Structure 1
Amino acid sequence: MRLLVGAAVEDGGGRISLHLADQDRQALVLVLSHQSGQAPVEDSHFLTSLAAAGSIASCGTDTSADGRRRWALLTL
């Protein structure tokens, strides 16, 4: 979770949102950096680092009108 929050803070937005959900022994952690109109940035190094952190079933990133979302699905 530290990697997700750190990446959102580095985006330089005025605030971030953290969302958590769990189901079937998995937890979804989603962090949104509120940066309207932010251009997409190459995240392959970030995603590789996140996947190497362990217990990650899946992870990803995308950009929307609300800002940049980064997420990880953790096996509990």
Structure 2
Amino acid sequence: MSVHLADQDRQALIVALSHLPGLAAADTAVLPELTGLGAVTCGTDTAEDGRRVWAVLDL
């Protein structure tokens, strides 16, 4: 697993990448929990390089 951080326009993007291809979609409770913690927007997707979960937070 790796975590990537970026910032732009007083917002931070946090991405967690599993690096394990073929994983199913994340638990449906994850995104509402991120929103409850203050994420402006968040999402999840899968690709050849693994599953990503991301969130954008105001700084």
TM norm structure 1: 0.71
Whole-angstrom CA distance in 2 between matches of 1:30 and 1:45? 17
Higher mean displacement: 17-26 or 43-52: 43-52
**Highest RCO, 1 vs 2 (Cα 8 Å, sep ≥ 6):** 2
Point out where structure 1 has 5 or more consecutive residues left out of the alignment: 1-15
Equivalent in the alignment of 1:24: 9
2:41 maps to 1:44 = no
Choose from 38, 42, 47 the match for 1:64: 47
Runs of 4+, deviation exceeding 2 Å: none
More strand by share: 2
Indicate whether 1:75 and 2:58 are aligned: yes
Q: What corresponds to 2:37 in structure 1?
A: 53
Residue correspondences, number: 59
> Could you list the per-position Cα deviations for residues 32-58 of structure 1 after superposition, in whole angstroms to 9, with x for gaps in the alignment?
0111122334x331101111012x110
Superposed CA RMSD = 1.2
Does the Cα contact within 8 Å between 2:25 and 2:44 map onto a contact in 1? no
TM-score by length of 2: 0.89
